[in-house]
Amino acid sequence: MVCVSFAVWIRDVDESGYFDDVDAVDEQGEQALAGFLPEIEESPLAGHLVEAEQTAADKDEFIKVKKWALGGRILTAGVIQQDADLPVMVVVALEESNPA
């Protein structure tokens, strides 16, 4: 499976190694995602995007996520933090759909 992913917003831990307020950082990520979604939804791709349902894995992996089907691929934009001491990021990924 091929997947291309990149971060469009990152909020790193502070100098002490901790977030000042994890909920506030998650909220900042959600606001950044909300600001970025129009870039996708109003892009030339918009006419080809079909909103896709979130999976249980998405709900475990992302703080907030939105997905679209694009031909045989899935476009995902979401807020993620892979570990408690890693940055909160807004990521966008394009990957092949799993065969049925």
Per-residue pLDDT of 12-68, as tens digits, reads 867 666 666 778 888 999 999 999 999 999 999 899 999 999 999 999 999 999 999
Cα dist. 57→11, 16, 23, 98 in Å? 23, 31, 21, 13
Which of 47, 54, 60, 100 lies closest to 77, judged by CA? 54
Beta-carbon count within 10 A of 93 CB: 16
62 close to 80: Cβ distance less than 8 angstroms: yes
Exposed/middle/buried for residue 29 (C-beta within 10 Å: 0-12, 13-18, 19+): buried
Residue type for position 16: S
pLDDT over 60 (residue 100): no
Predicted confidence (pLDDT) per residue in 15-31, tens digit: 666 666 778 888 999 99
Q: What is the mean pLDDT of residues 85-94?
A: 90
90 close to 29: Cβ distance less than 8 angstroms: yes
